[in-house]
A and B are shown apart, each in its own frame.
Chain A
Amino acid sequence: MKDILKHIDWRWKAVLLAAAAIVVTLAARCTMTSISESTVSIAVDEDINITPEQIESIKAIGEWEFLSVADEELVDTTRRGIFTDDHLVRIYYGTVRLGINMHQVKPGWIQTQGDSISVTLPKVGLLSRDFIDEARTKTFHESGRWKPADREALYWKAHRQMLKHCLTQENLRNAGINGEAQFRRMMKALGFDHVSISFEQ
């Protein structure tokens, strides 16, 4: 190698040296760029896994809804501690549906005579006691650790509050008035001029 270098002109040596310097600089720059563009982070998954939905039952029903009351209830629970208290405050959403169940109509509930019709509907009431959309629940405030049993208790507290606020005499009366108007309109559309609508007591 030394022999080869001895025979090379000093100008060529300078060129070779400059070229080597450029290569080393470029290599160093590339390495620095890739290091500076490197990222390291700690991450956790926030999405749920894909799991199937199983249809447990399909049922034929006949429920007329005349009034729906969409409600949200703020419920809370407190656990007393030695130094601090723990709190859990959640907002529950639900829709209380009022109407009649057509499976409860009695024989002869429709009587016709010429252009007259008399309809006797079942009593207006709550269509289903499962009216809370629990999976829509939002956490408003939380301190401390809470168990499933605490959440279950909160659900029933929200259930009671919703029933108290939504299943009122006024709402039942309004549902009845609306039901009567809707059935009257339907019977008129079906061609009956004289329509009588009543509810079972």
Chain B
Amino acid sequence: MKKTLLFLTFAGLLLASSSCGKRQPQDVQTVTTEATDTLPQLVTQIQRCAKLYTTEVKIHKIVTHDDVVRLRGNMLSKNFDIPLPLGERKVAIPMDATLKAYIDFSEFSEQNIERHGQRIVILLPDPQVTLTSTRINQKEVKEYVGLTRSHFTDKELTSYEQQGRQAILNNIGNMNIIETAKENAARVLVPMIAQMGYREEDITIAFRKELTIDELKRKIEGLGR
């Protein structure tokens, strides 16, 4: 018995010394390894453009999320879905978004102008809509967390905010912004052209055509993002 105990103690010491010996080169390696930047490369993209923003729309949305832990399944060919008690979480995130409609003048040329005597017709490309900013009203964010649940993480909150942003983009087509943008474009351009010597009644601002819903969706930047 004593011999066995002695043998085990010796074996344990041997293992401990060998594992200590192995750690030393690892430490050396850690010191010699070059520090690598694991942060993603942040990009700044500069673009020259000629856009005339004619309409600004402010939108308010309260993004809500009900997060109930549910026991879901199928037993003997019957589906069941039971909310578990004390497992509820709720969050309401007020969000403001700014949309702007613009006319892209980067391709503007003589082909966009028609003259008929004293009259002038400016044929413009179709207006487009872009989401220029969104703002989360952090002070008004409301959370309710059940006893058995953890608090909302930052990753979860940003995920709900992104879904809210996408919902706003998906709904732009129903806001009639394009028509307002066309009217407002005339309000900016007609006084400008009038200063060049044309009478206001001789100036016509025209657009290509009425947009279909599919074309409208294509005109909305970031819809597929």
Q: Which residues of A contact B (CB under 8 A)?
A: 34-35, 37-74, 88, 90-91, 94-95, 97, 99, 102, 109-110, 112, 117, 127-128, 130-140, 142, 145-146, 148-149, 151-152, 155, 165-166, 171, 174, 178-179, 182, 185-186, 189-192
Residues of B within 8 A of A64 (CB): 50-53
Segment at the A interface, from B9-17, B28-36, B59-67: B59-67
Residues of A within 8 A of B105 (CB): 182, 186
Instruction: In the A-B complex, list the 6 residue pairs whose CB atoms are closest, starting with the nearest.
Output: A135-B165, A40-B73, A148-B138, A135-B134, A110-B195, A182-B50
**B134-165, CB < 8 A from A:** 134-136, 138-139, 141, 151, 153-155, 158-165
- Pairwise interchain contact A57-B58, C-beta atoms closer than 8 A: yes
Residues of B within 8 A of A72 (CB): 42-44
In the complex, A61→B55 CA distance in Å? Answer: 5
- Pairwise interchain contact B49-A65, C-beta atoms closer than 8 A: yes
Contact of A58 among B46, B57, B65, B75 (CB under 8 A): B57
- Pairwise interchain contact A130-B73, C-beta atoms closer than 8 A: no
- Pairwise interchain contact B134-A136, C-beta atoms closer than 8 A: yes
- Pairwise interchain contact A135-B139, C-beta atoms closer than 8 A: no
- Pairwise interchain contact A38-B135, C-beta atoms closer than 8 A: no
Known: A48-B167, A94-B133, A190-B196. A53 touches B61 (CB 8 A): yes
Interface residues on B, range: 35 or more
What residue in chain B is nearest A95 (Cβ atoms)?
Answer: B132
B170 to chain A, nearest CB (A): 10
For B53, B71, B162, B163, the residue with the greatest tally of chain A CB atoms inside 10 Å of its CB is B53
Contact of B160 among A48, A61, A63, A165 (CB under 8 A): A48
Contact of B75 among A40, A71, A131, A171 (CB under 8 A): A40
Residues of A within 8 A of B95 (CB): 135
B3 lies within 8 A of chain A by Cβ: no
What residue in chain B is nearest A133 (Cβ atoms)?
Answer: B134
- Pairwise interchain contact B65-A45, C-beta atoms closer than 8 A: yes
In the complex, A165→B45 CA distance in Å? Answer: 11
Can you identify 6 A-B contacts, CB atoms within 8 angstroms? A38-B75, A58-B180, A68-B47, A102-B188, A149-B139, A185-B108
- Pairwise interchain contact B60-A54, C-beta atoms closer than 8 A: yes
What residue in chain A is nearest B177 (Cβ atoms)?
Answer: A58
Known: A62-B54, A63-B52, A69-B46. A130 touches B139 (CB 8 A): no
Known: A34-B77, A91-B40, A102-B188. A56 touches B46 (CB 8 A): no
- Pairwise interchain contact B53-A135, C-beta atoms closer than 8 A: no
In the complex, A44→B153 CA distance in Å? Answer: 14
In the complex, A97→B76 CA distance in Å? Answer: 61
- Pairwise interchain contact B68-A45, C-beta atoms closer than 8 A: yes
B113 lies within 8 A of chain A by Cβ: yes
Known: A63-B53, A66-B49. A38 touches B158 (CB 8 A): no
B21 lies within 8 A of chain A by Cβ: no
What residue in chain B is nearest A145 (Cβ atoms)?
Answer: B151
What residue in chain A is nearest B136 (Cβ atoms)?
Answer: A134
Residues of A within 8 A of B97 (CB): 135
B72 lies within 8 A of chain A by Cβ: yes
Contact of A88 among B75, B115, B154 (CB under 8 A): B154
Residues of B within 8 A of A41 (CB): 71-73
Contact of A134 among B42, B112, B134, B175 (CB under 8 A): B134
What residue in chain A is nearest B51 (Cβ atoms)?
Answer: A65
Residues of B within 8 A of A52 (CB): 61
